Amino acid sequence: MKNKKTLFSLGFFFIFSVAFLFGSSSEKAAAPEQAKPAVEQVKSTPELRKEFPMKSHHAKLSFECVYCHEGQGNNPKEFTTPGDKGCLSCHKSKQYLADRLKFMDKLHVNPHNSIHDGPVLYCDECHNEHKPSINMCAECHEHDVKIWTKDTP
Ligand code: HEC
Ligand code: HEC
Ligand code: HEC
Ligand code: HEC
C-alpha cells in the first residue's frame, strides 16, 4: 500500500519534471527571436515622404510608415500593399465604418455597407494612399447614381 503511494508520487514527479523540461526547452528556443533587434526601423524621413506622399488627412498627423506597413521589413522600397489590417488598426472595424455612414443606408449607397456585398469590401478597392483614390461603385454606377457626398478621400 505504502509502496504504491510512493510509486504514484514518483510517477507524478517524473511527469512533472518532463513537462518542466519541455516547457523550459521551448522557452529557450523562443529566446533568440526576442533577442533580435526590432525589425522595423524605417523612419518616415522627408525624402521617403516625398517619394511616397500620404493623403492630407494622414500626412498632417506625422505618421510613421510602419503604422500601415507593419511587419514588411526594413527596405521601404520593398513595401507592398498593407491590406485592411493596417487601416483597421486605427479605423476599428468594417462594421464601425459602415455605421458611421449609416445615413446613406436609406438609399442603399453606403460605400462601407454595399447593397451587393455588405460591409466586407477591401479598403483598397476604393482608398489608395500614395496615389489618387477611386470608387469601385462608380465603375458601374457612374452615370445613374450620383450619390456620394464627395469623391473617395
Ligand atoms: C495610425 C492610425 C491610422 C492608420 C494606420 C490609418 N488611418 Fe486613416 N485616419 C487616421 C486618423 C486619426 C484620421 C482622422 C484625421 C482627421 O481627423 O482629419 C484618419 C482619416 C482617414 C480618412 C478620412 C478622410 C476624410 O476626409 O474624412 C480616410 C478615408 C482614411 N483615414 C482612410 C484610411 C485607410 C484606407 C487606411 C489604410 C490604408 C488608413 N486610413 C490608415 C488614422 C489612421
Ligand atoms: C466602395 C468604396 C469604398 C470602400 C471599399 C471603402 N471606402 Fe472608405 N470611403 C469611401 C467613400 C466614397 C467615402 C466618402 C463618403 C462620403 O463622405 O460621401 C469614404 C470615407 C471613409 C472614411 C471617412 C468617413 C468616416 O467614416 O470616418 C474613412 C475613415 C474610410 N472611408 C475608411 C475606409 C476603410 C478603413 C476601408 C476598408 C475597411 C474603407 N474605407 C473601404 C469609399 C470606400
Ligand atoms: C496610412 C497608411 C500608409 C502609410 C502611413 C504609408 N503607406 Fe505605403 N502604402 C499604403 C497603401 C494603402 C498602399 C497601396 C498602394 C497605394 O495605396 O498607393 C501602399 C503602398 C506602398 C508601396 C508599394 C508601392 C506600390 O506602388 O504598390 C511602397 C513602396 C510604400 N507604400 C512605401 C511607403 C513608405 C516609404 C511610407 C512612409 C514614408 C509609407 N508607405 C507610408 C499605405 C500607407
Ligand atoms: C460590377 C458592376 C457593379 C458594381 C461594381 C456595383 N454595382 Fe451596384 N448594381 C449593379 C447592377 C447590375 C445593379 C442592378 C441594376 C438594376 O437592377 O437596374 C446594381 C444595383 C445597385 C443599386 C440599386 C439596388 C436597388 O435596390 O434598386 C444600388 C443602390 C447599388 N447598386 C449600389 C452600389 C454600390 C454602393 C456599389 C459599391 C459599393 C455598387 N453598387 C457597385 C452593378 C454594380
Q: Which residues neighbour 82 within 8 Å (Cβ) at sequence distance 6 or greater? A: 68, 69, 70, 72
pLDDT (mean) for 61-70: 93
- State the average pLDDT for the chain: 78
Q: Is the pLDDT of residue 47 over 80?
A: yes
Ligand 4 centroid, distance to 82 Cα (angstroms) = 27
**Of 27 and 43, the one with more pLDDT:** 43
2-16, 31-45, 61-75 — which one is most confidently predicted on average? 61-75
Is the minimum distance from the CB of 104 to ligand 3 under 6 angstroms?
A: no
pLDDT attached to residue 145: 53
- In ligand 4, the atom with minimum distance to the C-alpha of 117 is 38
What is the Å distance from ligand 1's center to 78 Cα?
23
Confidence at residue 141, expressed as pLDDT on a 0 to 100 scale: 84
Residues 6+ apart with CB under 8 A from 153: 55, 57, 127, 133
- Could you tell me how many residues make up the chain? 153
Which grid coordinates are listed for 28?
529557450
